[in-house]
Structure 1
Amino acid sequence: MQESSFVSLPFSRSRLTLVFVLAASLALSMVLVMGRVVMTGRFTFLFLIWNLFLAVIPFALSTMLGTARGPLRARVLVPVGAAWLLFFPNAPYILTDLFHLDSRPGVPLWYDLAVILSCAWNGLMLAYASLADMQRLVQLRLGPIAGWAFAVVALLLSSFGIYLGRYLRFNSWDVLANPLTLFYDIVNRLIHPFSFPGTWGLTLVFGVFLLVGYGTVRALGRSHEEA
């Protein structure tokens, strides 16, 4: 299929609205985190701002791919797409920060719940927004079945990435900084799957959860377009 069959994702009014809403939601999360710092004098949840920054990266990459045109897109598609897949798990990963919810002095439990849920929501929405961009690019070139197959594989891989980050404490940059250990741990779980039931349990459960959520969001958007 010729490059002209690619349709870019221009900054239309709807796209700008999406960016504005996501930015406003991110700002709310940062205000909540900083409000907690002011209330307690402690930096307990400041790591959430870093996690939000990492969650923005795949959305920024998919936006860059979507707005690239002609030969430029062809040149950057593979490296930027690979970087997107590498950083994509950082967005839904924030859902697991709910593990940090606990009663702490100086702040109501409901406030901490609001802080973490706000950040988790942003991570999930950034993940779905960037995945929709990438799915559209695949679909325009290879068709709708390939587009949905890509989305399913990306969400399952992101769930596996969530496991690697939450339980084995790997980061995206460990692909370059610590590749041998990362490779060993991944291959070990592939060769001996029954020795690591937690790995595949989390990957499957989170993968299905993320897929159902993504399908719901896409269906809601489509139903409003048809109304």
Structure 2
Amino acid sequence: MLTKIRNANRLNELLFLGGLSLFCFALTILRHGYSDTKAFLFLNWNLFLAFIPWLLTTWLIIHPKIQQNKIIVGLVICVWLLFFPNAPYILTDLFHLRLKLSMPIWFDLVLILSFAWTGILFGFFSLWDIERILSKYLKQKYITMVSVSLLFLSSFGVYLGRYLRWNSWDIIQNPFGLAFDISDRFLNPFAHSRTWGMTIFMGLLLCILYFSFKFIKKRE
């Protein structure tokens, strides 16, 4: 496996993201030890969920032969899409930033932003992998449209998770309840202004961040 990761030029990325994840974990352990509270330990679970999309696309990248099977690629992308919103979702954990006597607020700010940044990297790196895979089937202009659509779909998923408390696996545990909440917001859009307000503006923010990364990459 390590050889395949190295051959796919993914080893440095793995080490970098792994290092960032360990740094984030260390911050929560430090906070737990200093304050003797479990506040923000949940961020480790959120980061693990953000890691799954990157794991899925990395699996495809290090197995080029599998990419030739459209059915498998399609299934993996569907599963990827279910977990992809978990990456930008960590940005909304800034809602939990409060002045707590147990810890300086600047430390909690650094802690949450570290998790959010690492989650965003997992998400964007995996989206780049999706673009790379789709480039075998689509022209570049269509790939850009797909990426923008996925980012807005992701922001809708962030809303479902943050405000309606749906999880990625609820599509199996409670598919009818999830389908009802989603369909209701499409059938009665004016009754759910917060849904579409957050979806649009979060989507715009994700697009700004994503294409900023792409411009930086091109500049190099």
* TM-score, length of structure 1 as denominator length: 0.91
Report sequence identity in percent: 40
Q: Which moved more, 1:47-56 or 1:13-22?
A: 13-22
Candidates 96, 102, 106, aligned match of 1:100: 96
For 1:42, give the aligned amino acid.
T
Alpha-carbon RMSD? 1.5
Q: Which moved more, 1:157-166 or 1:135-144?
A: 135-144
Q: Report 1:167-178 matches (<5 A).
A: 167-178=163-174
Divergent runs of 4+, >6 A: none
Q: Which residue of 2 aligns with 1:47?
A: 42
Label 1:20 to 1:166 Cα distance change in 2 as closer, same or farther (>3 A).
same
Candidates 52, 57, 64, aligned match of 1:57: 52
User: For residues 63 and 8 of structure 2, what CA distance do their matches in structure 1 show?
Assistant: 18
Label 1:36 to 1:73 Cα distance change in 2 as closer, same or farther (>3 A).
farther
2:216 is equivalent to residue 220 of structure 1:
yes
Contact 2:60/2:66 (CA < 8 Å) preserved in 1? no
Contact 1:65/1:76 (CA < 8 Å) preserved in 2? no
Q: Which residue of 1 aligns with 2:28?
A: 33
* TM-score, length of structure 2 as denominator length: 0.94
1:90 deviates by 0.4
Contact 1:160/1:199 (CA < 8 Å) preserved in 2? yes
User: For residues 160 and 195 of structure 1, what CA distance do their matches in structure 2 show?
Assistant: 16
Q: Which residue of 1 aligns with 2:176?
A: 180
User: For residues 68 and 50 of structure 2, what CA distance do their matches in structure 1 show?
Assistant: 23
Gaps of 5+ in 1: 1-8
Contact 1:138/1:150 (CA < 8 Å) preserved in 2? no
For 2:75, give the aligned amino acid.
P
